[in-house]
């Protein structure tokens, strides 16, 4: 008997950006759209996971998973909030996968979301910094400053041109123009990136993702159940998570994110696929330098060479061999913390079910990499089109 695989049969995301809505509204919006997308009735939902880092800190509201189940008419479905900081969305995919693979649920709704823009940039940065080690953040080190130091090290050590980082931003913004849900649907040119204000030298404003409100949803079930709803679905072929040192300065090589390496290897092993089999990938480009580190950690490029692939257009959407961040990435789509990993999954699902519209590429196997903290925890998910 072949084991029943875990399928994804529905996906949705809200518009990302500055939204006049609270976390409760955002979660419900994506949840309802996902049920409608799949044609599954609320009564069929056994488990409902909510990926969210900090609704308590951002807006003083807890219990959002129970509220969502109530608002969507899912009762008595089991609910739980999943927090793995900025990789909460990927962790939600993993929780949903386990709920189906263990037999605990036959239909699991995952909704990830965050409401952030009502707070100042300083307040949001402080809330996000509190997920790093107090020995670091209490001395003023925030995630952008880690990114700046890492970028400087990478560029000097591997003799990479500053422009290669900027080209990540240019590429992802270009892809985002075709994503109706993206926060910034506008192209930026190289000069704009290179002349934007310095944030953490050498990184400038356009090397960073924005602060965003939004949510995204996916619906999971066993493949045997999926077949009764649709012919167009995706399979989660491999998924794994890994943790790196919580104190970033303890890592032996600042250009190696061990959480990426370990979660990638485990996900490849479970799926039976390797780096060469991946047709499309969504990587966690919270900062442009992170796209390089994930490309190398996942085996798409040797250490210190990811920038060459970007320079050569290998990761371009319409002409490249391995399109990366066809959705626009966190860079142009936005980064509502708990939503981002789920939205990565939405993009890969759409690519594998041929519903990505103007962003569509030719893909049978896709990968998402969702990074929490500064690589403190990472989830890699590999999906394939149903056959």
Contacts with a second copy by CB under 8 A lie at 24, 48, 53-54, 56-57, 60-63, 65-67, 69-71, 74-85, 91, 94-95, 97-104, 127, 130-134, 240-247, 258-259, 262-263, 372-373, 376-377
Nearer to a second copy, 200 or 257 (CB): 257
Closest CA to 206 of 161, 174, 160, 179: 174
Nearer to a second copy, 70 or 185 (CB): 70
Q: Minimal distance in Å, beta carbon 102 to a second copy?
A: 4
Q: Minimal distance in Å, beta carbon 48 to a second copy?
A: 8
Nearer to a second copy, 126 or 311 (CB): 126
Nearer to a second copy, 193 or 240 (CB): 240
Q: Minimal distance in Å, beta carbon 204 to a second copy?
A: 27
Partner residues linked to 368 by β-bridges? 282, 381
Q: Minimal distance in Å, beta carbon 11 to a second copy?
A: 22
Q: Minimal distance in Å, beta carbon 33 to a second copy?
A: 21
What is the DSSP-derived secondary structure letter of residue 8? E
Q: Minimal distance in Å, beta carbon 55 to a second copy?
A: 9
Question: What is the spatial distance between Cα 191 and Cα 180, in angstroms, rounded to a whole number?
Answer: 25
The helix/strand/coil state of 45 is coil
DSSP symbols for 232-293:
--EEEEEEEEEE--SSGGG-S-TT--HHHHHHHHHHHHHHT--GGG--EEE---SBHHHHHH
Q: Minimal distance in Å, beta carbon 241 to a second copy?
A: 4
Residue with tokens 């490849």: 268
Q: Phi first, then psi: what are they for 178, rounded to 5°?
A: -90, 10
DSSP symbols for 94-140:
HHHHHHHHTTS-SSEEEEEEE--TTS-HHHHHHHHHTTS-HHHHTTT
Question: What is the spatial distance between Cα 55 and Cα 24, in angstroms, rounded to a whole number?
Answer: 10
Nearer to a second copy, 188 or 379 (CB): 379
Q: How many CA atoms lie within 13 A of 345 on its CB side?
A: 45
Nearer to a second copy, 65 or 168 (CB): 65
Q: Minimal distance in Å, beta carbon 1 to a second copy?
A: 11
Question: What is the spatial distance between Cα 137 and Cα 130, in angstroms, rounded to a whole number?
Answer: 7
Both structure tokens of 25 = 């509204």
Question: What is the spatial distance between Cα 252 and Cα 292, in angstroms, rounded to a whole number?
Answer: 18
Residue with tokens 């189906």: 100
Nearer to a second copy, 67 or 310 (CB): 67
Both structure tokens of 380 = 């890699």
Nearer to a second copy, 73 or 357 (CB): 73
Partner residues linked to 383 by β-bridges? 236, 366
Q: Minimal distance in Å, beta carbon 265 to a second copy?
A: 10
> Residues with Cβ < 8 Å from 152, sequence gap 6 or more?
201, 202
Nearer to a second copy, 93 or 283 (CB): 93
């Amino acid at each position: 008997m072949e084991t029943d695989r875990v399928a994804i049969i529905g996906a949705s995301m809200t518009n990302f950006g500055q939204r006049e809505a609270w976390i409760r509204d955002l979660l419900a919006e994506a949840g309802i759209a996902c049920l409608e997308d799949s044609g599954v009735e609320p009564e069929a939902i056994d488990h409902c996971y909510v990926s969210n880092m900090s609704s308590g800190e951002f807006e003083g509201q807890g219990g959002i998973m129970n509220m969502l189940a109530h608002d969507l008419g899912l009762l008595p479905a089991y609910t739980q909030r999943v927090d793995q900081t900025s990789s909460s969305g990927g962790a939600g995919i993993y929780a949903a996968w386990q709920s189906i693979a263990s037999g605990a649920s036959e239909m699991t709704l995952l909704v990830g979301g965050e409401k952030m823009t009502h707070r100042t940039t300083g307040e949001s940065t402080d809330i996000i910094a509190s997920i790093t080690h107090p020995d670091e953040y209490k001395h003023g080190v925030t995630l952008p400053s880690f990114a700046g130091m890492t970028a400087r090290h990478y560029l000097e050590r591997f003799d990479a041109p500053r422009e290669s980082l900027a080209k990540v931003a240019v590429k992802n913004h270009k892809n985002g123009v075709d994503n109706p849900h993206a926060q910034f649907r506008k192209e930026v040119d190289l000069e704009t990136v290179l002349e934007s204000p310095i944030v953490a030298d050498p990184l400038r404003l356009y090397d960073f993702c924005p602060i965003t409100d939004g949510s995204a949803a996916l619906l999971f079930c066993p493949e045997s159940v999926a077949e009764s709803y649709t012919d167009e679905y995706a399979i989660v072929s491999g998924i794994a998570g890994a943790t790196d040192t919580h104190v970033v300065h303890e890592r032996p090589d600042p250009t190696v994110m061990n959480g990426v390496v370990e979660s990638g290897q485990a996900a490849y092993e479970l799926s039976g696929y390797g780096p060469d089999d991946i047709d499309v990938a969504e990587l966690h480009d919270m900062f442009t330098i992170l796209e390089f580190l994930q490309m190398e950690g996942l085996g798409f490029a040797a250490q210190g060479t990811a920038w060459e692939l970007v320079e050569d257009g290998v990761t371009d959407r319409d002409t490249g061999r391995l399109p990366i961040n066809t959705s626009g990435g966190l860079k142009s789509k936005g980064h509502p913390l708990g939503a981002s990993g789920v939205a990565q999954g939405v993009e890969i699902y759409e690519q594998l079910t041929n519903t990505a519209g103007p962003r569509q590429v030719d893909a049978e196997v896709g990968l998402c990499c969702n990074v929490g903290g500064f690589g403190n925890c990472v989830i890699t998910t590999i999906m394939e089109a149903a056959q």
